[in-house]
Amino acid sequence: MTARGLVAALLADTGDEEWLARVPGRLDTFLSALPGPVRAGVHAAATAVDAYAVLHSGRRLAALTPDERETVLNSLAARPGLLPALDLLKVPVLLAAATERTPAPRAPVAPDDPPLDCIPAAEWPARATADAVVVGSGAGGAVAARTLARAGLAVVVLEEGEHHTTASFGRRAPLDRFTDLYRDGGATATLGNPPLLLPVGRAVGGTTVVNSGTCYRTPDQVLARWSSRHGFHLADGFPARLDEIESTLRVATQPLDVLGTNGLLALAGAERLGWRAGPLRRNAPGCKGSCQCVVGCPTGAKQSVQLSVLPDACAHGARIVTGARVQRILLDHDHPGPPRAAGILARRADGSELEILSPLVVTAAGALQTPPLLRRSGLGGHPRLGRNLSVHPATSVAGRFTEPVTSWAGVLQSTGVEELHDRGILIEATASPPGMSSFVLPGVGRSLRRELEGADRLAILGAMIADRPAGRVLGRDRTLVRYRLDPRDGARLMTAVRAMGRILFAAGAHEVLTGVPRAPRARTLAELDALLTRITPRELHLSAFHPTGTVAAGSDPQRAPADAEGRLRGVDGVLVTDASVLPGCPGVNPQLSIMAAALAVTENYLEGASSNRTSTAA
């Protein structure tokens, strides 16, 4: 336990609480699931704090008394330049602490999941053939697999993650599931100033297993822009396809009964301001308000694609190979014209390889993984491949109320405030399992402990903005995301923070917490306005959730790596059906948009293949 002293210092452990003793162990378990560089960073920071303690008091943190630890940390926190780094160190500690302090309620007995034809990669043969291979089983991959399987093709879906059942979610603590269900243990981040945390799911079902279940239809003005400006004419057929997807996912407006106090407060605040707001439309019929969407719904209410789309695909013959990371797309170069896709080469966890020959390869590995896959395959020649990345930068604000809110009881993402949506700002009341929020409690030591113990009186709002495509996905073997926050988007974020403060104050909050260490709290709106003039968007705790557009479809061969029908340029037989094919930022939670795009691209492919067969026969 490398960070026992640090944990004791940050949480002002005086030995009075039994749960505090379990936090270092929980923290070590969590860190062990993170990528090496992140783990090393945390250990280095902890060592640096320990070294400071030695310089300051002559002993390491673990050997100091609680008062001495408090003095050391306050001395550190008095240096404004160190506050952001200290905040980063607090994130994993708070995760572990909140998990130990507030154990998740026992989940009800989960219903059986619809059957899936999942085969672990170890049991899949080294050589196989198929009519179509789908790389990735998330929103786009699932729809593509179902569409192709329904058309009678022998489909194999390859998934790097594992299959997790609803019952398995109910058996395990949220933090344990968190590290399993997210790529890099959820520690994916963008390079840039400011860095953005960009968690993406990795499991059968992809990010739909860990999203909030919010289902926005693609706004009409976005569809019009995609069609007219980008030449992505498939967008014209989206409305009917969105209907079909909504029907598959059983999308409906979230009833108020399990909405939770967090969402009700947001509704009340918006109502007092006269702003447009309402419960969100979600794909979770019968939601019990477990507030665990982001670590896999333990009740099976959320219709992630492994519960709604993939079972149908499997019923039509599709097979899912789990634990297989696709290394590259195999290409045939022995004929005139561009190369032709011939299948894929994938690697199992033990390093052994398997190959599947298939004349059609559908890439649905996500906007962050598809560009490196194409580069590894020798298909990364287009200058715009990996560029055009939009991520929906998001921040959150908490409001302290007199009465308990207990934000983690109720729907995780419950209420949408669309008053500022025309200006590219979408506010959503977003709670989370304890400690998993992107909102970081202020303070260190005793003040942080007080905040932690008063966390049940905090209501949390989040806002995401429609951003300019200011990011880029680099790398071949490992993904590297670079993102530079556009000044316009920075201004939008500040506007969003103020708007969230207004809602919270209108709802009755007596204090608003910004999460910014240098200006952590405001007690009035005027105070918040004054506070916001002192900070910059870069000081906000930013996350991002919806990477899109890195293999954008469009009619301009110079600007779009994929053609207007979602076929990758420069090769025959490769379709792109994940978020990367979207020409630009959809401005709303993108699950429905991705699924509609996947449906449009694959149906369009099947129509083309069928008309080719007809003309050949004629």
Residues found near other proteins in the complex (CB under 8 A): 125-129, 330, 332-334, 342, 345, 353, 355, 357
CA distance 347 to 350: 8
CB closer to other proteins out of 112 and 123: 123
Q: Is 546 a catalytic residue?
A: yes
Using alpha carbons only, give the angle 84, 87, 88 rounded to the nearest 5 degrees: 95
CB closer to other proteins out of 85 and 128: 128
CB closer to other proteins out of 62 and 342: 342
CB closer to other proteins out of 119 and 535: 119
- Helix H, strand E, coil C: the string for 292-347 is CHHHCCCCCCCCCHHHHCHHHHHHCCCEEEECEEEEEEEEECCCCCCCEEEEEEEE
Shortest gap between Cβ of 609 and other proteins (angstroms)? 21
Are the C-beta atoms of residues 408 and 433 closer than 8 Å to each other?
yes
CA distance 88 to 541: 10
Question: Measured in whole angstroms, how far is the alpha carbon of residue 128 from the centre of its chain?
Answer: 33
CB closer to other proteins out of 60 and 328: 328
Shortest gap between Cβ of 244 and other proteins (angstroms)? 32
CA distance 482 to 470: 9
Shortest gap between Cβ of 576 and other proteins (angstroms)? 23
Burial class (CB in 10 A: 0-12, 13-18, 19+), 336: exposed
Q: Which single residue is written with the structure tokens 């069609």? A: 227
Shortest gap between Cβ of 476 and other proteins (angstroms)? 15
Shortest gap between Cβ of 341 and other proteins (angstroms)? 12
CB closer to other proteins out of 48 and 119: 119
CB closer to other proteins out of 157 and 500: 157
Rg (CA), the chain: 24
Which residues, at least 6 apart from 582, have a Cβ–Cβ distance to it below 8 Å? 226, 548, 549, 552, 553, 590, 593, 594, 597
Closest CA to 498 of 484, 512, 486, 510: 512
CA distance 170 to 558: 49
CA distance 593 to 515: 31
Shortest gap between Cβ of 378 and other proteins (angstroms)? 11
Shortest gap between Cβ of 355 and other proteins (angstroms)? 6
CA distance 136 to 121: 14
Between β-strands 413-417 and 277-279, what pairing exists: parallel, antiparallel or unpaired?
antiparallel
For residue 35, count other CB atoms closer than 10 A to its CB.
14
Shortest gap between Cβ of 359 and other proteins (angstroms)? 13
Please compute, for residue 503, the number of CA atoms within 13 A of its CA located in the half-sphere on the CB side.
35
CB closer to other proteins out of 330 and 427: 330
Which residues are designated catalytic?
546
